[in-house]
């Protein structure tokens, strides 16, 4: 029997983390799990560690360590806590780290994994948006592979012919359009958190669901694609495709367009990343091609969903703008989910950060992680202060 692949799952209790767990459990001969991590959800973390027979479970919130120890007291599973412990687990010797923490908080563990030369399956897009250049360079230096998990980027990864990279005409990211695709601008302005997280096709964590509703998710994906595939902004297009069957396309200079299709089930891209360069049964839903009667496409509405224009603008402005764009959005989505602001305030805050705040922040180099974190933090604090005085 071939050796099992050793995996660590960062963000094991989230939507991607749990789908990863399901893929692994459905093929027990293929994988063994080293570490699993979470932020505060100790019950699900303990339960997942037991089901996966993991060696170590790490909780970011240090005050929950003793409770987690209790939950795992009758199992041979080590327990640790704190962000530094999560970073240490990411750096330990495994074949693949699944990066499925939400937000910029996942940056350091990804860096530690890559510094150790470990391949990283990356779902966690915010670190790529804020520090994509740094991450890709680090992977190159340490000979570590980055395997895209986001369904669009995984699709592109599957149909992108390495030998024909210079013959790519365009990358076309498909977008479902989210729950507000056909809503009027007035209705969108009054949208509640529960309406925003009700995605028509995908079941996901709350933050990415709100991002999908504002099309900020697609905006982040434009920047993500720029880094993952080394593509200039003018070669990345967005196409609305409400059925989420075609997960993205690559158009080549000879006129061929290659796409990847599948059900709206993250287990497919996760399985591809876990078993790369081979394929495995994902245990997930399969697309019934007999049921495919109509696939529709349309151009995105840049006025109704201004986040898309901002993605291109930030790519043109450079690293500083991408960091501010992501940081402001994370703060704004959190405020919206806590019902402190309305849905359209998310974009107002993001626009403020990029257009008004950023030019007032003195420029400094963004060569190190500390410098990237410093700018991220300045933007977060300034955005919160600005909201307080409004
Ligand atoms: P969830 O919110 O469902 O899960 C997030 C995970 O990260 C949980 O395990 C959570 O722990 C942990 N976590 C949250 N904050 C911290 C922190 N500060 N420190 C350490 N761990 C933390 O997110 P998703 O699974 O939906 O998304 C994860 C990433 O994957 C995102 O970047 C998203 O954009 C991307 N993605 C997700 C897709 C999806 O279908 N869900 C599709 C494509 C990309 P706890 O449970 O304890 O809070």
Question: Over the stretch 84-126, which tens digit does the pLDDT of each residue have?
Answer: 999 999 999 999 999 999 999 999 999 999 999 999 999 999 9
The reported pLDDT for the residue numbered 35 is 98
The reported pLDDT for the residue numbered 248 is 98
Give 255 Cα–ligand 1 centroid separation in angstroms.
Answer: 38
304: number of Cβ within 10 Å? 15
Question: Over the stretch 116-168, which tens digit does the pLDDT of each residue have?
Answer: 999 999 999 999 999 999 999 999 999 999 999 999 999 999 999 989 999 99
Is 389's pLDDT higher than 90? Answer: no
In the block, residue with structure tokens 């000979």 = 143
Would 386 be classed as within a structural domain? yes
Give 218 Cα–ligand 1 centroid separation in angstroms.
Answer: 17
Question: Over the stretch 45-83, which tens digit does the pLDDT of each residue have?
Answer: 999 999 999 999 999 999 999 999 999 999 999 999 999
**Single residue among 305, 332, 358 that ends a domain in this structure:** 305
The reported pLDDT for the residue numbered 294 is 87
How large is the average pLDDT for residues 232-239?
Answer: 98
Would 270 be classed as within a structural domain? no
Would 381 be classed as within a structural domain? yes
Same domain, 174 and 209: yes
Same domain, 38 and 139: yes
Give 15 Cα–ligand 1 centroid separation in angstroms.
Answer: 7
Same domain, 299 and 170: yes
Q: Which atom of ligand 1 approaches the CA of 208 most closely?
A: 34
Is 1's pLDDT higher than 70? Answer: no
Same domain, 251 and 352: no
Same domain, 298 and 338: no
Nearest to 328 by CA among 363, 356, 309: 356
* Probe target for ligand 1 pocket from 205, 218, 263, with the most ligand atoms within 8 Å of CB: 205
Domain of 386 in residue numbering reads as: 318-390
Give 103 Cα–ligand 1 centroid separation in angstroms.
Answer: 7
* Probe target for ligand 1 pocket from 52, 68, 208, with the most ligand atoms within 8 Å of CB: 208
Same domain, 20 and 120: yes
Would 330 be classed as within a structural domain? yes
* Probe target for ligand 1 pocket from 59, 64, 102, with the most ligand atoms within 8 Å of CB: 102
Give residues with Cβ within 8 angstroms of 72, minimum separation 6: 46, 49, 50, 57, 79
Would 202 be classed as within a structural domain? yes
Would 80 be classed as within a structural domain? yes
Give residues with Cβ within 8 angstroms of 291, minimum separation 6: none
Same domain, 250 and 182: yes
Same domain, 137 and 173: no
Would 273 be classed as within a structural domain? no
Q: Average pLDDT over the chain, rounded to whole? A: 97
3-state secondary structure the chain: CCCCEEEEEECCCCHHHHHHHHHHHHCCCCEEEEEEEECCCHHHHHHHHHHHCCCEEEECCHHHHHHHHHHCCCCCCEEEECHHHHHHHHHCCCCEEEECCCCHHHHHHHHHHHHCCCEEEECCHHHHHHHHHHHHHHHHHCCCCEEECCHHHHHHHHHCCHHHHHHEEEEEEEECCCCCCCCCHHHHHCCCHHHHCCCCCCCCCHHHHHHHHHCHHHHHHHHHHHHHCCCCHHHEEEEECCCCCEEEEEEECCCCEEEEECCCCCHHHHHHHHHCCCCCCCCCCCCCHHHCCCCCCECCCCCCCCHHHHHHHHHHHCHHHHHHHHHHHHHHHHHHHCCCCCHHHHHHHHHHHHHHHHHHCCCCCCCCHHHHHHHHHHHHHHHHHHHHHC
Q: Which atom of ligand 1 approaches the CA of 39 most closely?
A: 47
CATH of the domain at 328: 1.10.1740.10
Same domain, 22 and 60: yes
Distance separating alpha carbons of residues 314 and 198, to the nearest angstrom: 28
Would 269 be classed as within a structural domain? no
**Single residue among 278, 305, 332 that ends a domain in this structure:** 305
Same domain, 224 and 139: no
Residue 91 backbone dihedrals phi, psi, to 5 degrees: -85, -10
How large is the average pLDDT for residues 22-34?
Answer: 97
Smallest CA separation from ligand 1 atom 27, residue:
102
- Bridge partners (DSSP) listed for residue 170: 251
Residue 199 pLDDT grade (very low, low, confident, very high; cuts 50, 70, 90) = confident
Q: What angle do CA 272, 274, 278 make, to 5 degrees?
A: 55
Residue 200 pLDDT grade (very low, low, confident, very high; cuts 50, 70, 90) = confident
Same domain, 15 and 144: yes
Residue 291 pLDDT grade (very low, low, confident, very high; cuts 50, 70, 90) = confident
Query: How far from 319 is each of 162, 167, 195, CA to CA, in Å?
Result: 26, 27, 33
How large is the average pLDDT for residues 272-298?
Answer: 93
Cβ proximity of 356 and 349 under 8 Å: no
Number of domains in the chain: 3
Same domain, 237 and 163: yes
Q: Is the dihedral of CA 257, 237, 346, 296 positive or negative?
A: negative
The reported pLDDT for the residue numbered 202 is 85
Give residues with Cβ within 8 angstroms of 334, minimum separation 6: 207
**Single residue among 97, 115, 148 that ends a domain in this structure:** 148
Query: How far from 47 is each of 1, 187, 319, 347, CA to CA, in Å?
Result: 28, 41, 40, 38
CATH of the domain at 70: 3.40.50.720
Residue 390 pLDDT grade (very low, low, confident, very high; cuts 50, 70, 90) = confident
Smallest CA separation from ligand 1 atom 45, residue:
39
pTM greater than 0.85 (yes/no) = yes
């Amino acid at each position: 029997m071939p050796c099992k692949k050793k995996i660590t799952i960062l963000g094991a209790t989230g939507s991607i983390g749990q789908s990863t767990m399901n893929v692994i459990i459905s093929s027990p001969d293929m994988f063994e799990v080293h570490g699993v991590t979470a932020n505060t959800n100790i019950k699900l973390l303990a339960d997942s560690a037991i089901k996966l027979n993991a060696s170590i479970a790490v909780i970011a919130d240090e005050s929950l360590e003793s409770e987690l120890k209790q939950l795992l007291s009758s199992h041979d599973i080590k327990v640790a806590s704190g962000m530094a412990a999560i970073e240490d687990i990411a750096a330990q010797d495994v074949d693949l780290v699944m990066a499925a923490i939400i937000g910029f908080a996942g940056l350091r563990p990804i860096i530690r994994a890559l510094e150790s030369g470990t391949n990283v399956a990356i779902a966690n897009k915010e670190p790529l948006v804020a520090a994509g250049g740094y991450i890709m360079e680090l992977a190159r230096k340490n000979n570590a592979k980055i395997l895209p998990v986001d369904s669009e980027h995984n699709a592109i990864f599957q149909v992108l012919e390495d030998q024909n990279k210079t013959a790519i005409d365009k990358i076309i990211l498909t977008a479902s359009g989210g729950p507000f695709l056909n809503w009027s601008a007035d209705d969108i302005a009054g949208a509640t958190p529960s309406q925003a997280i009700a995605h028509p096709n995908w079941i996901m964590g709350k933050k990415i669901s709100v991002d999908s509703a504002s099309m900020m998710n697609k905006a982040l994906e434009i920047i993500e694609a720029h880094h993952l595939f080394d593509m200039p902004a003018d070669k990345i297009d967005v196409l609305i495709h409400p059925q989420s069957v075609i997960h993205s396309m690559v158009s080549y200079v000879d006129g061929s367009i290659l796409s990847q299709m599948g059900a709206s089930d993250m287990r497919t891209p996760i399985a591809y990343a876990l078993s790369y360069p081979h394929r495995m049964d994902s245990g997930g839903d399969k697309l019934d091609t007999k049921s495919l009667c109509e696939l529709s496409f349309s151009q995105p509405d840049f006025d109704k969903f201004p986040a898309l224009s901002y993605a291109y603008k930030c790519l043109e402005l450079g690293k500083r703008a991408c960091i501010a764009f992501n940081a402001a959005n994370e703060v704004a989505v959190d405020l919206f989910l806590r019902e402190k602001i309305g849905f359209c305030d998310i974009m107002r805050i993001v626009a403020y950060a990029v257009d008004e705040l950023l030019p007032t922040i003195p420029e400094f180099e963004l060569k190190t992680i500390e410098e990237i974190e410093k700018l991220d933090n300045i933007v977060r604090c300034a955005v919160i202060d600005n909201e307080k005085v409004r």
